[in-house]
A = this chain, B = another copy of it.
Amino acid sequence: MGRWEPNSRGRLEQAALELYGERGFEQTTVAEIARRAGLTERTFFRYFADKREVLFAGAASLEALFVSTVSGAPESAAPLDAVAQALEVVAGAFQERHAYARERQKAIIANAELRERELIKLASLSAALADALRLRGVAEPAASLTAEAGVAVFKVAFERWIEEENERDLWHLIQESLDELRAVMAGN
């Protein structure tokens, strides 16, 4: 075992992102990521299964945050309100990470394998949200549709947030998207 290095995970994420931006995902090796972070390959593999997963290490905790907030919403909350509460909590967790999120999105858009992995992440999130809603007593197909709508709103608002040079409030963009989807569904 090497000696403990402070914030190894974060340094590896940052190093990977820099290298993917500089030379592309395919052209970057785990050895190079570890070197850039001032760590060993062995340390890399203590945190991540491979160089793809470096960009998805947060997916499980994102999903857990969504699910726990939906599950913890007041019993009286309508399905969409429970999901909106989760979106607000998640937006707060992202708010300070605009620069990182931008760089990450750039790397993902540039590579088909990473784009597929991102789709899997969102599909998994939608399935987990639908499960959480069913546990709250929401019937099908309302549970699946609410989960899909929540993920769609998150995805669209997140992409707008990322695109803007001048960082706006993510929760504000999510609320705008929610209102927009409400208007679309009401036929306006």
Report which A residues bind B (CB closer than 8 A): 78-81, 116, 119-120, 123, 140-142, 144-146, 148-149, 152-153, 155-157, 160, 176-177, 180-188
* Apart from the given pairs A80-B184, A142-B183, A145-B156, 16 other A-B contacts in the complex at a CB distance below 8 Å: A79-B184, A119-B119, A119-B123, A141-B156, A141-B180, A145-B153, A145-B177, A145-B184, A148-B148, A148-B152, A149-B149, A149-B152, A149-B181, A181-B185, A185-B186, A186-B186
Q: In the complex, A79→B78 CA distance in Å? A: 26
Could you say which residues of chain B place their CB within 8 Å of the CB of A144?
Answer: 156
Nearest chain-B residue to A144 (Cβ)? B156
Could you say which residues of chain B place their CB within 8 Å of the CB of A181?
Answer: 145, 149, 185
Whether B120 lies near A184 (C-beta < 8 A) is no
Whether A185 lies near B185 (C-beta < 8 A) is yes
Chain B CB within 10 Å, residue with most, of A146, A156, A185: A185
Question: With A155-B148, A156-B144, A160-B141 in contact, do A182 and B185 touch (Cβ < 8 Å)?
Answer: yes
4 pairs of A and B residues whose beta carbons are closest in the complex: A148-B152, A185-B185, A119-B119, A145-B181
Q: In the complex, A155→B123 CA distance in Å? A: 12
Could you say which residues of chain B place their CB within 8 Å of the CB of A116?
Answer: 116, 119-120
A-B contact pairs, 18 of them (CB 8 A): A80-B185, A80-B187, A81-B187, A116-B116, A116-B119, A119-B123, A141-B156, A141-B157, A142-B180, A145-B181, A148-B149, A148-B152, A149-B152, A149-B181, A149-B185, A152-B152, A182-B185, A185-B185
Could you say which residues of chain B place their CB within 8 Å of the CB of A176?
Answer: 141
Chain B CB within 10 Å, residue with most, of A141, A149, A187: A141
